[in-house]
């Protein structure tokens, strides 16, 4: 699907390793609230989220989270903490599970609740809203708004390591 362009750009896929061990690295204890958006003249858009995993021979699990996020870019809190790898839309050239951190029980719980659908934002012009200061307080700072349309440019600012995008 990637080669034919059938994979929509508003999909993101992340992976991490989990285990049933008590110990593990400190993990983000953060929930990214995924809003419901309405763009003028279009049907309301809900984010879609799916989590699944695969058992590995050594007893760990490869945990995956797939997110459909139209009109916005989403930064995963575990990716920001170097505890998850984004597999799509920009896959890494290599993926070595032996080099990845393995989450313990608490880290796995935090991973499982990293995203939550909820919140409702309706009848708003995303472009105008994205440029206004009140917008930034409505949703997670891990979400930035794109201009509606294919390949839309990012309209909100995000502070990351001292830089504004």
| 43: confidence class by pLDDT, cuts 50, 70, 90 | confident
User: pLDDT by residue (tens digit) across 1-34?
Assistant: 656 767 777 899 999 999 999 999 999 999 988 8
The residue among 55, 154, 157, 66 whose CA lies nearest residue 114 is: 66
Instruction: Tell me the whole-structure pTM to 2 decimals.
Output: 0.78
Q: Which residues pair with 125 in a beta bridge?
A: none
Instruction: Dig out the tokens for 47 from the structure.
Output: 């984010």
């Amino acid at each position: 699907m990637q080669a034919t362009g059938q994979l929509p750009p508003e999909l993101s896929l992340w992976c991490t390793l989990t285990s049933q061990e008590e110990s593990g690295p400190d993990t983000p204890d953060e929930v990214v609230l995924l809003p419901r958006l309405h763009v003028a003249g279009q049907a309301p858009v809900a984010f879609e989220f799916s989590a699944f995993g695969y058992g590995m021979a050594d007893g760990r699990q490869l945990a995956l989270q797939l997110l459909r996020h139209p009109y916005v870019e989403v930064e995963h809190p575990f990716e920001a903490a170097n505890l998850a790898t984004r597999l799509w839309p920009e896959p890494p050239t290599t993926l070595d599970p032996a080099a990845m951190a393995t989450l313990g029980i608490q880290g796995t719980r935090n991973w499982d609740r990293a995203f939550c659908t909820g919140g409702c934002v309706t009848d708003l012009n995303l472009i105008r809203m994205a440029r206004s200061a009140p917008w930034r307080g409505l949703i997670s700072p891990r979400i930035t708004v794109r201009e509606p349309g294919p390949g839309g440019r990012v309209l909100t600012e995000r502070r990351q390591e001292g830089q504004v995008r």
